[in-house]
Structure 1
Amino acid sequence: MITRVWHGRTSLSDSDRYLQFLLTKGTEDYKKVKGNLSVRVWRKVEHDVAHFYTVTEWDSIDSIKKFAGEQFDKAVYYPEDQGTLLEFEEHVVHYESFQI
Protein backbone atom coordinates (compact mmCIF):
# COMPACT_ATOMS: atom_id res chain seq x y z
CA MET A 1 0.00 0.00 0.00
CA ILE A 2 1.21 3.54 -0.77
CA THR A 3 0.29 6.58 1.32
CA ARG A 4 0.35 9.96 -0.45
CA VAL A 5 0.59 13.11 1.69
CA TRP A 6 -0.04 16.64 0.41
CA HIS A 7 0.48 19.72 2.60
CA GLY A 8 -0.86 23.25 2.24
CA ARG A 9 -1.30 26.31 4.46
CA THR A 10 -3.98 28.99 4.66
CA SER A 11 -4.53 32.01 6.84
CA LEU A 12 -6.60 31.30 9.91
CA SER A 13 -9.41 33.43 8.48
CA ASP A 14 -9.63 31.18 5.38
CA SER A 15 -9.32 27.95 7.35
CA ASP A 16 -12.97 26.94 7.76
CA ARG A 17 -13.86 27.77 4.16
CA TYR A 18 -10.88 25.82 2.84
CA LEU A 19 -11.69 22.86 5.07
CA GLN A 20 -15.18 22.69 3.56
CA PHE A 21 -13.66 22.81 0.07
CA LEU A 22 -11.30 19.92 0.90
CA LEU A 23 -14.07 17.83 2.44
CA THR A 24 -16.15 18.15 -0.73
CA LYS A 25 -14.80 19.18 -4.13
CA GLY A 26 -11.14 19.19 -3.09
CA THR A 27 -11.04 15.46 -2.49
CA GLU A 28 -13.74 14.07 -4.78
CA ASP A 29 -11.28 13.33 -7.61
CA TYR A 30 -9.30 10.99 -5.35
CA LYS A 31 -12.37 8.91 -4.61
CA LYS A 32 -13.20 8.48 -8.31
CA VAL A 33 -9.95 6.64 -9.08
CA LYS A 34 -9.95 2.86 -8.96
CA GLY A 35 -7.22 1.84 -6.55
CA ASN A 36 -7.83 4.64 -4.05
CA LEU A 37 -8.34 2.98 -0.69
CA SER A 38 -8.99 5.96 1.59
CA VAL A 39 -9.00 9.75 1.86
CA ARG A 40 -8.42 11.70 5.05
CA VAL A 41 -8.09 15.43 5.65
CA TRP A 42 -6.04 16.66 8.58
CA ARG A 43 -5.97 20.24 9.89
CA LYS A 44 -3.65 21.78 12.46
CA VAL A 45 -4.08 25.39 13.59
CA GLU A 46 -0.81 27.02 14.52
CA HIS A 47 -0.84 30.69 15.56
CA ASP A 48 -2.31 32.60 12.61
CA VAL A 49 -2.17 29.82 9.99
CA ALA A 50 -3.84 26.49 9.39
CA HIS A 51 -1.92 23.53 8.00
CA PHE A 52 -3.86 21.08 5.88
CA TYR A 53 -2.85 17.59 4.88
CA THR A 54 -4.64 15.27 2.51
CA VAL A 55 -3.58 11.74 3.35
CA THR A 56 -4.64 9.16 0.81
CA GLU A 57 -3.98 5.45 0.58
CA TRP A 58 -3.56 3.64 -2.72
CA ASP A 59 -3.09 0.08 -3.86
CA SER A 60 -0.18 1.01 -6.19
CA ILE A 61 1.84 3.77 -7.83
CA ASP A 62 -0.06 3.02 -11.05
CA SER A 63 -3.31 3.98 -9.33
CA ILE A 64 -1.74 7.23 -8.09
CA LYS A 65 -0.68 7.98 -11.67
CA LYS A 66 -4.32 7.70 -12.76
CA PHE A 67 -5.01 10.62 -10.39
CA ALA A 68 -1.82 12.70 -10.64
CA GLY A 69 -0.30 11.76 -14.00
CA GLU A 70 3.09 10.32 -14.87
CA GLN A 71 4.88 12.84 -12.63
CA PHE A 72 2.96 11.45 -9.68
CA ASP A 73 5.19 13.14 -7.09
CA LYS A 74 3.97 16.59 -8.18
CA ALA A 75 1.18 18.23 -6.24
CA VAL A 76 -2.24 18.62 -7.90
CA TYR A 77 -3.93 22.01 -7.45
CA TYR A 78 -7.39 23.38 -8.21
CA PRO A 79 -8.58 26.89 -9.20
CA GLU A 80 -10.06 27.30 -5.70
CA ASP A 81 -6.54 27.08 -4.25
CA GLN A 82 -5.60 30.40 -5.87
CA GLY A 83 -5.89 33.27 -3.42
CA THR A 84 -6.35 30.88 -0.49
CA LEU A 85 -3.18 28.84 -0.11
CA LEU A 86 -0.19 30.77 1.20
CA GLU A 87 2.22 28.89 -1.07
CA PHE A 88 2.15 26.07 -3.58
CA GLU A 89 4.45 23.25 -2.58
CA GLU A 90 5.63 21.54 -5.74
CA HIS A 91 5.81 17.98 -4.47
CA VAL A 92 3.90 15.54 -2.31
CA VAL A 93 5.42 12.74 -0.24
CA HIS A 94 4.82 9.04 -0.75
CA TYR A 95 5.37 6.31 1.82
CA GLU A 96 5.12 2.56 1.71
CA SER A 97 2.56 1.73 4.36
CA PHE A 98 1.79 -1.52 6.07
CA GLN A 99 -1.35 -2.62 7.81
CA ILE A 100 -0.85 -4.85 10.83
Structure 2
Amino acid sequence: MIARLWHGTTRLDRADAYSTFLGERAMPDYRGTPGNLGAQVLRRDEGDVAHFVTLSYWESEDAIRSFAGTDLLKAKYYPEDESYLLEFEPQCVHYEVRSAG
Protein backbone atom coordinates (compact mmCIF):
# COMPACT_ATOMS: atom_id res chain seq x y z
CA MET A 1 0.00 0.00 0.00
CA ILE A 2 1.20 3.53 -0.79
CA ALA A 3 0.38 6.60 1.27
CA ARG A 4 0.29 9.84 -0.75
CA LEU A 5 0.55 13.16 1.08
CA TRP A 6 -0.18 16.56 -0.43
CA HIS A 7 0.24 19.87 1.44
CA GLY A 8 -1.35 23.23 0.73
CA THR A 9 -2.01 26.49 2.55
CA THR A 10 -4.79 29.02 2.49
CA ARG A 11 -5.61 32.18 4.41
CA LEU A 12 -7.34 31.41 7.68
CA ASP A 13 -10.41 33.42 6.65
CA ARG A 14 -10.80 31.08 3.61
CA ALA A 15 -10.02 27.85 5.45
CA ASP A 16 -13.58 26.78 6.30
CA ALA A 17 -14.70 27.30 2.71
CA TYR A 18 -11.69 25.38 1.42
CA SER A 19 -12.36 22.57 3.85
CA THR A 20 -15.90 22.34 2.52
CA PHE A 21 -14.62 22.32 -1.06
CA LEU A 22 -12.21 19.49 -0.29
CA GLY A 23 -14.98 17.44 1.30
CA GLU A 24 -17.46 18.00 -1.51
CA ARG A 25 -15.19 17.93 -4.57
CA ALA A 26 -11.75 16.49 -3.91
CA MET A 27 -12.53 13.63 -1.52
CA PRO A 28 -15.17 12.07 -3.81
CA ASP A 29 -12.63 12.27 -6.65
CA TYR A 30 -9.97 10.50 -4.58
CA ARG A 31 -12.34 7.87 -3.21
CA GLY A 32 -14.00 7.28 -6.57
CA THR A 33 -10.75 6.31 -8.26
CA PRO A 34 -10.30 2.54 -8.63
CA GLY A 35 -7.46 1.41 -6.38
CA ASN A 36 -7.98 4.14 -3.79
CA LEU A 37 -8.15 2.59 -0.34
CA GLY A 38 -9.24 5.74 1.51
CA ALA A 39 -8.52 9.44 1.88
CA GLN A 40 -8.54 11.99 4.67
CA VAL A 41 -8.09 15.75 5.01
CA LEU A 42 -5.99 17.09 7.88
CA ARG A 43 -6.01 20.76 8.92
CA ARG A 44 -3.76 22.79 11.20
CA ASP A 45 -4.26 26.50 11.82
CA GLU A 46 -1.13 28.55 12.39
CA GLY A 47 -1.49 32.30 12.79
CA ASP A 48 -3.39 33.64 9.81
CA VAL A 49 -2.69 30.57 7.65
CA ALA A 50 -4.36 27.17 7.55
CA HIS A 51 -2.33 24.15 6.46
CA PHE A 52 -4.11 21.28 4.75
CA VAL A 53 -2.75 17.81 4.12
CA THR A 54 -4.57 15.22 2.10
CA LEU A 55 -3.57 11.72 3.08
CA SER A 56 -4.67 9.06 0.65
CA TYR A 57 -3.97 5.36 0.43
CA TRP A 58 -3.47 3.48 -2.83
CA GLU A 59 -3.10 -0.16 -3.72
CA SER A 60 -0.50 0.50 -6.46
CA GLU A 61 1.37 3.05 -8.52
CA ASP A 62 -1.00 2.31 -11.40
CA ALA A 63 -3.93 3.37 -9.23
CA ILE A 64 -2.16 6.65 -8.43
CA ARG A 65 -1.52 7.21 -12.14
CA SER A 66 -5.23 6.81 -12.88
CA PHE A 67 -5.88 9.58 -10.34
CA ALA A 68 -2.95 11.97 -10.86
CA GLY A 69 -1.51 11.19 -14.29
CA THR A 70 1.73 9.68 -15.51
CA ASP A 71 4.00 11.71 -13.19
CA LEU A 72 3.36 9.87 -9.93
CA LEU A 73 4.64 12.62 -7.66
CA LYS A 74 3.05 15.56 -9.44
CA ALA A 75 0.39 17.25 -7.32
CA LYS A 76 -3.14 17.24 -8.72
CA TYR A 77 -5.01 20.54 -8.56
CA TYR A 78 -8.58 21.54 -9.32
CA PRO A 79 -9.61 24.80 -11.06
CA GLU A 80 -11.27 25.95 -7.81
CA ASP A 81 -7.92 25.79 -6.00
CA GLU A 82 -6.98 29.09 -7.66
CA SER A 83 -9.38 30.95 -5.37
CA TYR A 84 -8.08 29.35 -2.17
CA LEU A 85 -4.43 28.34 -2.19
CA LEU A 86 -1.54 30.64 -1.38
CA GLU A 87 0.88 28.62 -3.51
CA PHE A 88 0.93 25.48 -5.59
CA GLU A 89 3.43 22.97 -4.32
CA PRO A 90 4.50 20.94 -7.36
CA GLN A 91 4.87 17.52 -5.78
CA CYS A 92 3.35 15.11 -3.33
CA VAL A 93 5.27 12.75 -1.07
CA HIS A 94 4.78 8.99 -1.15
CA TYR A 95 5.45 6.48 1.59
CA GLU A 96 5.24 2.73 1.51
CA VAL A 97 2.89 1.65 4.29
CA ARG A 98 4.64 -0.98 6.39
CA SER A 99 2.02 -1.46 9.08
CA ALA A 100 -1.55 -0.36 9.63
CA GLY A 101 -3.91 -0.89 12.44
Please state which band the TM-score falls in when normalised by the shorter chain. Answer: over 0.9
Matched with 2:98 is: 98
Q: Root-mean-square deviation (CA), in Å?
A: 0.9
Alignment-derived partner of residue 30 in structure 2? 30
Equivalent-residue separation in structure 1 for 2:75 and 2:5 (angstroms):
9
Cα separation, 1, equivalents of 2:38 and 2:54: 10
With normalisation by structure 2, the TM-score equals 0.95
Using structure 1 for the length normalisation, give the TM-score: 0.96
5+ long unaligned stretches in structure 1: none
| Cα distance per residue 1:1-49 (max 9 Å; x no partner) | 1000000000000000000001110221111111100110000000110
CA distance in 1, matches of 2:84, 2:32: 25
Q: Secondary structure at the match of 1:23?
A: helix
1:2 aligns with 2:6: no
Looking at structure 2, the residues matched to 26 and 97 of structure 1 have their Cα atoms a distance apart, in angstroms, of 22
Point out where structure 2 has 5 or more consecutive residues left out of the alignment.
none
Q: Deviations over 1:72-92 (max 9, x none)?
A: 210010111002100000000
Structure 1: 4+ residue segments shifted above 2 A = none
Identity of aligned residues (%): 49
Count of residue correspondences: 100
Partner in structure 2 of residue 78 of structure 1 = 78
